[in-house]
Structure formats: C-alpha cells, structure tokens
C-alpha cells in the first residue's frame, strides 16, 4: 500500500486537524527512521494509521477491550484517551488488513510506551510528540534531543508527559511509568 492509498483510507476517520497531525507524525517518523536506522516504509504506515481509532465511539472501544483485547483491560481504569491505541491496532489489522506486527505494535503502544520498545515503536512514540504541529512547553527541547539521541529524547518526553499529568493530578498509566524506568535503567548502563 502506498502513501496516497493509506492516507485515503485514514482520512474519513479523522478531523481536518487530526489529519494534519497525522501527516506531521508520518513525515517526522520517516525522518527519525532514516536518522536512526528503522524501516522508513513501516514508519510511514505506522505514522499514517497511528490515530486511526482516535474518534471511534468510546463505548465501542471499551466493549472491544472487554471482549477481544482483554490483555488491555487495565486501560479501562485510566483515561479514555488511551483506548484508541490498542483498539486502533486491532482495527488496522482487521479493517485495513495490515498484518505486520511491528507496525501494529507501534500503533498499539504509541500513547503509553512499553518496556523493551523496538526501534520502530520508539520512532512512532516520539514522532507523535514532536511533529511540527505540536506547540507546548518542552517540545522544542525534545525536538532538539531527537536530532542527537533517540532514547534521551524519549526520556525527556516521558518526564514532560508524566510531570504534566501529575501537575493536573491525573493518573499516570503504569506502563508509562514502567517505560520511563526502563529507559532510565538502559541509559545508566550506556553511561557506565
């Protein structure tokens, strides 16, 4: 599937603003993939489809998690904004027909991260945060780090995200904390 075909499939599921975001994530993911040695075609498809389920009915997604995605059941105790990632991976596989598990995992974990992220997962996770349309405190620092060290950029992204949620007294999904800890542990090993 080429870029135009993929964008045509995703566009009806997104608002104009979210479509622009999706193109920004896709272009950023391709740049990061090329910089750090990930497969740019996989990065392109994962970027295009990462928010495929963003505007799906929340109750439909909750039902999907309770039924076919029970390994994601914990997500129901947290923000409904997290639902679109695991549900999106399911829909992309079953409606679009993408079976590449690396692409599906990049979609599945783009909101929470996970311990032991693959290079492609890191690329999508970070691209979603730093795409050119994003404008919030701390994003420029993460963009700069992304040109130097992928893992350090993700650590700063996680620090920013977790701090943002804590300042607003919102729950932090446990997998996101585990992701942060995993990156810190690996960074300390690198620095030894």
pLDDT digits (tens, 9 = 90+) for 26-51: 999 999 999 999 999 999 999 999 99
Walk me through the domains of the chain, giving residue ranges and CATH numbers. Answer: 3-135 (1.10.3210.10)
- pLDDT value at residue 3: 97
Look at residues 180, 176, 190, 182 and name the one whose alpha carbon lies nearest to residue 79.
176
Q: What is the pLDDT of residue 72?
A: 83
Q: Is 113 in a helix, a strand, or coil? A: coil
- Please say whether the beta carbons of 123 and 135 come within 8 A: no
**Closest among 54, 48, 47 to 4, alpha carbons compared:** 48
The model carries a pTM of 0.96
Give the pLDDT confidence score for residue 172 in this predicted structure. 96
Report residues of the chain scoring pLDDT below 70.
Answer: none
């Amino acid at each position: 599937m080429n870029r135009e075909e993929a964008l045509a499939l995703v566009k009806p599921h997104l608002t104009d603003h979210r479509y622009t975001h999706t193109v920004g994530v896709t272009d950023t993911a391709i740049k990061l993939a090329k910089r750090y040695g990930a497969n740019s075609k996989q990065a392109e498809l994962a970027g295009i489809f990462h928010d495929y389920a963003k505007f799906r009915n929340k109750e439909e997604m909750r039902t999907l998690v309770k039924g076919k995605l029970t390994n994601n059941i914990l997500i129901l105790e947290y923000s409904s904004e997290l639902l679109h990632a695991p549900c999106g991976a399911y829909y992309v596989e079953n409606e679009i027909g993408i079976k590449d598990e690396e692409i599906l995992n990049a979609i599945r974990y783009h909101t929470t991260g996970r311990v032991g992220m693959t290079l492609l997962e890191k690329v999508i996770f970070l691209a979603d945060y730093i795409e050119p349309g994003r404008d919030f405190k701390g994003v420029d620092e993460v963009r700069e780090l992304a040109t130097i060290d992928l893992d350090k950029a993700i650590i700063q992204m996680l620090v920013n995200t977790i701090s943002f949620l804590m300042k607003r007294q919102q729950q932090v999904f446990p997998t996101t904390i585990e992701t942060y800890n995993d990156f810190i542990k690996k960074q300390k090993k690198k620095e030894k």
